Amino acid sequence: MLLEKILQSQGFGSRKYCQQLIKNGSVMVEQHICDNPKQNFSTDQLSFQVFGEQYQFREHVYIVLNKPSGYECSHQATHHKSVFSLFPEILIHRGIQCVGRLDQDTTGLLLLTDDGQYLQALTHPRKHVPKVYHVTTADPVSKEQREQLEQGVELRNEKGVFAATGVELFSEYQLSMTIHQGVYHQVKRMLAAVGNKVEKLHRNQVGSLILPDLEEGEWMYLTPAQKLLSQNISKEDALL
Ligand code: URA
């Protein structure tokens, strides 16, 4: 691929701007300054430097963020900050999107990508990718409430029944539950439907991917193995 196209594909800006960067001598490949925008490189395992900073070529990006409270999952955030403000400009230029949404006051595992197929696969209602939430409630969780959550509740303006699996009580006011759909405010509405209220909500798992050890606001690129876990695909299935 032409060096100018490589930089453009990685989010460094327009073709013209990338040509300028290269001609100015700001780009190094394999320890040498390359000032020819038309030079061809194989993108396989390619790493390069721009203004002395190291980058690895990525056809697509798959990111996990430990989302802090007070951030909205939209580009045009209205009442709070945008989660996109936590990322460098080159990732914004690449058009990363949130894989599903978390409310502004929900914390925890949020995936972002510029791969439309991956996004579709994880958010398609028929895929039923499980998501695990840790919930802190306003009132003690009764035995009846737990049973109702497991049996399923109806939610206004939504078709069908919404049930949680793997409900575990950590304390009177704290539980963990897995949901298999992803309708608007689902966990908060399910808790409200059984007569309780969510005080705090934290997502700990999507598919089989558990939130890695990241500080709130910190993010990392998913490894190929973590990407498979997020899709609930086993390594064996991936090899078939
Ligand atoms: N369910 C909710 O109610 N809020 C979230 O952010 C995620 C799931």
Tens digit of each residue's pLDDT (9 = 90 or more) over 206-224: 999 999 999 999 999 999 9
Q: Which CATH number fits domain 62-125+212-234: 3.30.300.30, 3.30.70.580, 3.30.450.40, 3.90.1300.10?
A: 3.30.70.580
**Is residue 186 in contact with ligand 1, taking CB distance under 6 Å?**
yes
Between 31-35, 45-49, 161-165, 234-238, the lowest mean confidence (pLDDT) is in 234-238
pLDDT surpassing 80 at residue 235: no
CA–CA gap between residue 98 and residue 142 (Å, rounded): 34
Tens digit of each residue's pLDDT (9 = 90 or more) over 98-111: 999 999 999 999 99
Q: For residue 44, indicate whether it is catalytic.
A: no
**Is residue 102 in contact with ligand 1, taking CB distance under 6 Å?**
yes
Tens digit of each residue's pLDDT (9 = 90 or more) over 81-99: 999 999 999 999 999 999 9
Domain ranges of the chain: 3-56, 62-125+212-234, 131-206
Decide yes or no: CATH 3.40.30.10 for domain 131-206: no
Strands (E), 40-130: 47-50, 53-56, 62-67, 71-72, 81-82, 97-98, 106-113
Tens digit of each residue's pLDDT (9 = 90 or more) over 100-148: 999 999 999 999 999 999 999 999 877 889 999 999 999 999 999 999 9
The token pair at 216 is 């709130």
Answer for the pair 110, 103: CB distance below 8 angstroms, yes or no: no
pLDDT of amino acid 240: 67
pLDDT of amino acid 207: 95
Atom of ligand 1 nearest to the CA of 189: 3
Answer for the pair 200, 138: CB distance below 8 angstroms, yes or no: no
Q: What percent of the chain has pLDDT over 90?
A: 91
Atom of ligand 1 nearest to the CA of 190: 3
**Is residue 199 in contact with ligand 1, taking CB distance under 6 Å?**
no
Q: What is the CATH number of domain 3-56?
A: 3.10.290.10
pLDDT of amino acid 237: 76
CA–CA gap between residue 143 and residue 188 (Å, rounded): 18
